[in-house]
Amino acid sequence: MPSPRGTASVAASCLLLALAGTAVGADEQPWGHLHVNGFATLAATYADTDGQADFRSAQFQSAGSGRSRHWDFANDSNLALQLTWDTPYEPLRVVTQAIAANDTHDDFKPRIDWLYLGWQPAPDLSIRFGRFPFPSGMYSETRWVNSSRLEVRAPQSIYAPLPVSSLDGADLNHYLQSGPWLLRSRLSYGQTSTVIASRFGDTEVDLRSVISAAFDLNRDNWRLYLGGFISDTRVTSPQSKGLHDALHEQAQSNPSLNALADDYTPDYSRVWQIDAGIEYLNAPWTVRVEGLYRNSQTKLVLDLANWNATLGYTEGRLTPFVAIGQMRLHEPWRQQALPSGPPGAIAAVAAYNASLVTSNETILSVGLRWDLDHGLALKAQLDRHQLDDEQSRGVFTNNTPEFVGRQAAIHVFTLALDYQF
């Protein structure tokens, strides 16, 4: 459940901000113009995992419906405020986005997702310095804005495996318009870090020297996206470090274990990802397809070849939709044969084999979006998760050993109310 204290503090902050805004009044300048926008979602989720695991919307979440609680009201709920200050010096603006959402410690509290200084030296060129959205996919900038899509959450096969949503650094945006074509090119550089909590302790994730390029081509009802990033990534947890050290120690007498130890290196490893998508928005039809390919030199970051497709049909204010997504490890993990060496080596390899859990699964979704008055939208969505191999636990967490590779499908139902202003 969201912390009542945290929720209350965010609500109070919003109210104070609104009152403060009224108080400063509507007089013109010379301190510029402040725009206040926001979005919120109140969601309830139920997952029928038979008490074997928790459903989570994103990889960094550590609890949810299924095992820790029957109904989950935290993982897909959020409340965000975005302040945009157009300074009197026209090329400069300051943007901040604060979002209260469930964090990795299952605590519903606010964080600053964006805080950047934007400089627009030319009408078609802008540069951002500070904290801005992590450029990971077609909808990375609106990942938390649930009212911007048909589904109750960003497609899990694309966005759930990425534990970060912002990048600290600089990025350059260029807009090129030619007739009906509009091309946005984005080049980013920076670093970020986060913590992923679990019942077994915290895992630290550090991404440095992140270089990203993204190209977004729009024409009328069509949008094409191609982007990618490369980074030095380090993932460390007490378990992975212990496994690495045990394998490394046993490799002194059994050199073949060196390669296995390298799979869990606590040092920085190269990770890169490319993402492509296409969107067609022409009433009554909504069509979206997006896929990603991720390559990693460490088993602590999954190699992925995931995709998602969504089809919606709008009739008045109702839009029923269907979606399908698949998560695939593009290079199957192989269990290692137990060596005929000392007990320590046998134990280390057994622990290595036990660590090889994948997220391979197919997610089928059906849902309905109902656009109400006053910026509200009501959504209902039913997801069917089918784990696709015997080592998979899908997007779920806190699983019992029996859950891994479960054959029976898992159904997840979510009811959500979105708001934006």
Give the span between the Cα atoms of 152 and 278, in whole angstroms: 20
Among 35, 70, 208, 241, binds another protein (CB under 8 A): 35
Among 3, 6, 36, 48, binds another protein (CB under 8 A): 36
Nearer to another protein, 367 or 394 (CB): 367
CA dihedral 53, 56, 61, 67 (to 10 degrees): -30
Least distance to another protein from the beta carbon of 420, Å?
A: 6
Taking CB under 8 A as the rule, does residue 13 contact another protein?
no
Whole-number Cα distances in Å, 196 to 332, 346, 384: 24, 29, 25
Among 5, 70, 105, 221, binds another protein (CB under 8 A): 221
Give the span between the Cα atoms of 100 and 80, in whole angstroms: 6
Among 1, 37, 238, 241, binds another protein (CB under 8 A): 37
Whole-number Cα distances in Å, 259 to 45, 119, 256, 297: 42, 47, 6, 12
Taking CB under 8 A as the rule, does residue 72 contact another protein?
no
Among 105, 111, 241, 317, binds another protein (CB under 8 A): 317
363's enclosing H/E stretch is strand 361-371
- Residue 17, strand partner residues: none
Least distance to another protein from the beta carbon of 218, Å?
A: 8
Nearer to another protein, 262 or 371 (CB): 371
Nearer to another protein, 94 or 324 (CB): 94
Among 4, 28, 255, 334, binds another protein (CB under 8 A): 28
Angle at 39 between CA 33 and CA 42, to 5 degrees: 160
Taking CB under 8 A as the rule, does residue 281 contact another protein?
yes
End-to-end CA distance of the chain: 25
Question: Do residues 349 and 338 lie in contact, with contact meaning Cβ atoms separated by under 8 Å?
Answer: yes
Nearer to another protein, 106 or 171 (CB): 171
Question: Do residues 367 and 382 lie in contact, with contact meaning Cβ atoms separated by under 8 Å?
Answer: yes
Taking CB under 8 A as the rule, does residue 2 contact another protein?
no
Give the span between the Cα atoms of 106 and 398, in whole angstroms: 13
Least distance to another protein from the beta carbon of 283, Å?
A: 4
Least distance to another protein from the beta carbon of 410, Å?
A: 29
Q: What is the DSSP string of 286-335?
A: EEEEEEEEEEESSTTS--EEEEEEEEEE-BTTEEEEEEEEEE-BSS---P
Q: Which of residues 106-135 bind another protein (CB under 8 A)?
A: 114, 118, 128, 133
Residues at the contact surface with another protein, assessed by CB under 8 A: 14-15, 17-18, 21, 24-40, 82, 84, 93, 95, 97, 114, 118, 128, 133, 141-142, 145, 147-149, 177, 179-180, 182, 220-221, 281-284, 286, 314, 316-317, 319, 369-377, 419-421
